Chains A and B, each alone.
Chain A
């Protein structure tokens, strides 16, 4: 990689190059491009996970965890279907001991976490470098398209993020991190 002096911009100083330099190459697990049939199977498997989570009783972790209410499960199902239709299904779906459902994404440039409750949600990205994207509030205000863009910001190989989209995550970032500051 060589330095480009075009308009004072350099590849080495770009946030993407900085993030790439911090990546442990051995930790990367390359996944093959999924086929449409595979996506159908994954969608069904994730729906099955939600069904199993919905069947958990109180104290399901033997440490006092709360059961996951039908409202939280239904909210999770709604947003999961919206994310799946955008090719942005989470990598992990887990219950929390607080009675909520959590979606996790673990991507090349960081992680993202979405917690879904009966009436509320909380979302943040934890990029390897740069600012986090934060969002929370009433579940009715949760926007799957914004989640997709936020997840794309930590996914170097995301096909969900086209060249024309590059400005959008940063606009979201400004919107949500302004409050954190």
Chain B
């Protein structure tokens, strides 16, 4: 698995009930306070495995409200880079894992971001979410992937 992630690679992001509003992806799906948005590289991690990882590592029914896996979002590396974000291999998590990084500003815990910075970060995250193809999983509780990709 090469460290370099070419533009034509497809990246997979697990989607949960926390990331949807009226059935649409929210920008928060591509925003993380530590600036490390976890994705799987489609070329090396097939959707069934991405779903397995999502259910094992992301889904948490004990949270309030429950954070339940609903499907997968697919987006190309080229689109993410075109919005200004970077993608770095992070195989210390698992082979085929990568992080999307905004590299704009770090946020102090408990304090609001300056308005101009927040606007840029939120717009970028929303633009990536809008460009991503969200494939709802018709059988989210099943172990197998039932989406159309």
Contact = CB atoms under 8 A, between A and B. Distances in A.
A98 to B, nearest CB: 5
B81 interface: no
A109 interface: no
A132 interface: yes
Nearest to A102: B112
B112 A121 contact: yes
B111 A100 contact: yes
Contacts of B90: none
A136 B113 CA distance: 8
A151 interface: no
A29 to B, nearest CB: 9
Interface residues of A, number: 35
B15 to A, nearest CB: 14
Given A113-B118, A122-B115, A135-B115, A98 B33 contact: yes
Contacts of A116: 112
Contacts of B63: 60-62
B82 interface: no
Interface residues of B, number: 24
B110 A63 contact: no
Nearest to A75: B112
Interface string A96-121: 11111000000000000101111111
29 contacts: A62-B58, A62-B60, A62-B63, A66-B109, A97-B32, A97-B33, A98-B33, A98-B111, A100-B110, A100-B111, A113-B118, A115-B113, A116-B112, A117-B111, A117-B112, A118-B110, A118-B111, A119-B111, A120-B111, A120-B112, A122-B114, A122-B115, A122-B117, A124-B115, A132-B119, A134-B115, A136-B115, A176-B115, A180-B116
Interface of A: 52, 60-66, 69, 71-72, 96-100, 113, 115-124, 126, 132, 134-136, 176, 179-180
The 8 nearest A-B residue pairs measured at CB: A117-B111, A115-B112, A122-B112, A134-B115, A136-B115, A99-B110, A117-B112, A122-B115
